[in-house]
């Protein structure tokens, strides 16, 4: 699996409309398979754009869907525990400052704009739920188009500092959704586990900050 190019943009876009010049400058990557490596159904086509500047890493997900599984009365102002039980997009990011290769940060955002963030240490099977990254989120759903968009902006203060140009971090991108009532676990880099599991740091790919 190839790494992901993260392009520099002095002023990061803050919109779920990806036809802007800023978003269109970002390479588009696809979550083309599930965690096993099987192809993503066309009805769940998912793409991601990644941009950065000195302040934050910004990710924009565009998701096709046939059915939505979301909270009926969401509150995007507070963290939503276990967001992965419903429709969600996720990013696992590991900077060179992490304690070891299986220590990373997890970020999630739902079609409702709900979010959660945590620090994960898979060597100890431990997660810090009290940690706050300061992430921001945007979300938009277009039922007639059967698409939803979410944006997450991850401040580099959450990682202890911004990357230098040309620096390489690691990470992986995911989506959980439903098709005909069945849950699908989509990913950029498959984890190849027996059951769905995104927490496989060995499947992370390079994130190259250009």
Tell me the CATH number at 172. 2.60.40.1190
Q: Distance between CA atoms of 202 and 183, rounded to whole angstroms?
A: 24
Domain count, the chain: 1
The C-alpha torsion from 8 through 11 and 14 to 15, rounded to 10°, is -80
Calculate the alpha carbon distances from 98 to 32, 104, 120, 159, 160 in Å. 28, 7, 10, 8, 9
Q: 62 lies in which domain range? A: 4-209
**R_g (Cα) of the chain, nearest Å:** 16
Whole-number pLDDT of residue 38 = 98
Whole-number pLDDT of residue 1 = 62
- Report the candidate in 150, 38, 144, 31 with the shortest Cα–Cα distance to residue 83: 150
Q: pLDDT in tens for each of the 210 residues of the chain?
A: 689 999 999 999 999 999 999 999 999 999 999 999 999 999 999 999 999 999 999 999 999 999 999 999 899 999 999 999 999 999 999 999 999 999 999 999 999 999 999 999 999 988 998 999 999 999 999 999 999 999 999 999 999 999 999 999 999 999 999 999 999 999 999 999 999 999 999 999 999 999
């Amino acid at each position: 699996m190839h790494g992901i190019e993260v392009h520099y943009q002095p002023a990061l876009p803050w919109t779920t409309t990806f036809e802007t010049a800023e978003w269109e400058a970002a390479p588009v990557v696809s979550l083309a398979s599930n965690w096993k490596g099987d192809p993503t159904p066309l009805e769940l086509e998912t793409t991601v754009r990644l941009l950065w500047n000195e302040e934050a890493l910004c990710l924009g997900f565009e998701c096709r869907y046939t059915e939505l599984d979301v909270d009926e009365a969401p509150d995007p102002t507070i963290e939503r525990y276990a967001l992965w039980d419903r429709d969600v997009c996720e990013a696992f990011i590991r900077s060179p400052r992490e304690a070891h290769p299986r220590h990373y940060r997890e970020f999630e955002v739902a079609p409702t704009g709900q979010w959660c963030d945590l620090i994960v240490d898979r060597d100890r099977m431990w997660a810090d739920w009290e940690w706050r990254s300061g992430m921001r989120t945007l979300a938009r759903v277009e039922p007639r188009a059967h698409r939803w968009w979410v944006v997450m902006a991850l401040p580099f203060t959450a990682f202890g500092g911004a990357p230098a140009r040309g620096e390489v971090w690691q990470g992986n991108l995911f989506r959980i959704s439903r098709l005909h009532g069945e849950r699908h676990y989509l990913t950029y880099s498959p984890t190849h586990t027996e059951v769905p599991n995104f927490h496989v740091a060995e499947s992370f790919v390079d994130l190259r900050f250009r």
